[in-house]
Amino acid sequence: MGAADRSPWARGRVLASLAVLTAGLLAFHSAVPNTVGRLGSLLETFLPWLGLTVPLLLVLALLRRSTIALPALLLPAAVWVHLFGGRLETGDGGAPDFVAVQHNVSDENTDPAGTAAALIEAAPDLVALEELTSSALPVYETALVSDYPFHAVVGTVGIWSKHPLSGIRPLDIRPEGIPEDWSRGMRSTARTPWGDIAVYVAHLPSVRIGWGGLSAGRRDESAGLLGDAIAAERLDRVILLGDLNSTVDDRGLAPVTSRMDSAGRDFAFSWPAAFPVARIDHVMARSATLTDVRTLPTTGSDHLPVAAGIRLDR
């Protein structure tokens, strides 16, 4: 008896097995070990995209006229909706008290003035920038000063604010072995009408994907240092803006995401700008709620700007 002559209940067992495997990876991604090539983090970085296997397997099941594979596909579909369905909602999350924008402007950006103009159009109260260069910094300062009279820069990161800033200091998030001139973190206090808010800006080390998996050791170490700093912060209200080089689903950011509202309910993919597949640029908050997270139009950077509405807990 040929494959085409077999009962619909006998066809598609491999497809059904793949459906169950997909559901398992979605539901128990934290069980995938990070010991070899940080495969767990690699899976979690692109976890929402695992849902694309469902329509692919559906097409194959229909072609095979498989009775067993079709109901099996309900399992990964249900798990995906449970995990990520809320991120597709467009309902109003409530009126924010203010808006913050985070943008890795790229050290290869040839249009810093245009980039600054694009950020101003979003009318945020806070603007955090990373990968500031000595040549581009004066352009950003000139372009943003009229709308944001208060600003501070530490190393290659900076904050521009409509509210007065104080308590400005570097934030040491250097992994072991990184030179002392590596400065990609800062902390300040924004004095707002709702009270003082600790504002952190951070740019965690980059990761690389190769045949050996994900190279993220330094990023994870830096995330741990950032998480420790936030945990030690004395002000109740904290806003974190930065390029964290991973997504909120990645366990490597757990020292940070476990302490903050990371607005995982929105996709807002920010990288790469040409075809965004992951949100590695973040606005997070403590003792506050992120009402919405969205990306802004492309600039001269390889990242999209990310804007978030923030409602402070009363």
Contacts of 277 (CB under 8 A, 6+ apart): 46, 49, 269, 271
Question: What is the arithmetic mean of pLDDT over 220-236?
Answer: 97
99 and 308 Cβ atoms separated by less than 8 Å = yes
Rg of the chain on CA atoms, in Å:
22
For Cα atoms 107, 144, 113, give the angle at the middle one, nearest 5 degrees: 45
Question: What is the arithmetic mean of pLDDT over 39-43?
Answer: 92
Residue 91 confidence (pLDDT): 53
Give residue 223's pLDDT band: very low, low, confident or very high (50, 70, 90).
very high
Give residue 11's pLDDT band: very low, low, confident or very high (50, 70, 90).
low
Contacts of 220 (CB under 8 A, 6+ apart): 41, 252
CA atoms within 13 A on the CB side of 49: 11
Q: Is the pLDDT of residue 309 over 80?
A: yes
In terms of C-beta density within 10 A (0-12 exposed, 13-18 middle, 19 or more buried), how is residue 108 classed? exposed
| 55 sits in which H/E element | helix 53-64
CA dihedral angle for residue 51, residue 56, residue 62, residue 63, rounded to 10 degrees? -170
Helices 13-27 and 53-64, packing angle to 10 deg: 160
70 compared with 256, residue with greater pLDDT: 256
CATH class of 98-312: alpha beta
Give residue 7's pLDDT band: very low, low, confident or very high (50, 70, 90).
low
Distance CA 131, CA 145 (A): 19
Question: What is the arithmetic mean of pLDDT over 177-194?
Answer: 95
Q: Is the pLDDT of residue 5 over 70?
A: no
Give residue 94's pLDDT band: very low, low, confident or very high (50, 70, 90).
confident
| Domain range summary for the chain, segments of one domain joined by + | 3-88, 98-312
